[in-house]
Amino acid sequence: MSRFLPLSVGIFVLSLWEALVRVLDVPKFILPPPSMIADALISNFPQLLDALWETFKLTVLAFAASFVGGLALAVLFVRSRLIERSFLPYALVLQVTPIVAIAPQIVIWVGVDHVERAVFILATIVAFFPILSNASLGLRSVDPGLMDLFKLYRASGVQRLWLLQLPSALPALLAGARISAGLALIGAVVAEFVAGSGEAVGLAWRISESASRLQTPLTFAALLLLSLTGLALNALVTMIEKRLLRHWHPAHGEAS
């Protein structure tokens, strides 16, 4: 039923959409029917797939950079309150600053001939804070009794981090990774819109180009690919989370 119900709702919505657009004779440049979107997707699939690959590549790179950087900074924050007080305000500033406001300046800094670098930087900024926040919370949520036990056995700081704190932080860290993966895709798309130029080749640029030419079916087809990519990223991170936690974490129903 968990698969049948969403599929049924989707078929019903698409059927209703198709019928209403044709009965009301809505112009295709305003709202095309699903059948026309499917035709645009099939006829332009190679070009859309190439553009999607560019966006997906930058999304994965930005997500990886934000994951490594956020986790490393979280470890420093947990080990030193001085470092946390020194750098946390700047991390918060990056989090609350609208990407559209800083994108033009980033493009100027990296050069207009290197739009991909600007997109990577902007997507990394967007995806960075959830990793930092969740990793910091997880690293501090260690059972005090276990921490005292490690200290009793004279475990080094590296041993406490590797054998106790990181495993304890894993659920929170992976929850942050799910958020960060989606934000990396959103950040890459928004950055492509804002920082795009004649050098841009990502899917967001294809959406902007088709919308400016009133090729609405092609715009919806590109949006469909973006949605499916976001779902695939979320499913991938969720699968990794279940595989890592299913044997011991009670939230996944298989803990002993």
pLDDT tens column, 63-79: 999 999 999 999 999 88
Mean pLDDT of 34-57: 92
Other CB atoms closer than 10 Å to residue 107's CB: what's the count?
22
Mean pLDDT of 40-53: 91
Report whether pLDDT(39) > 90.
yes
pLDDT tens column, 120-156: 999 999 999 999 999 999 888 888 888 888 888 888 8
Measured torsion, CA atoms of residues 161, 165, 167, 170, in degrees rounded to the nearest 10: -120
In this prediction, residue 254 has a pLDDT band, given cuts at 50, 70 and 90, of: very low
Residue 3 tokens, joined: 């698969």
Q: Does domain 33-252 have CATH number 3.40.50.1370?
A: no
> What are the domain boundaries of the chain?
33-252
Report whether pLDDT(197) > 60.
no
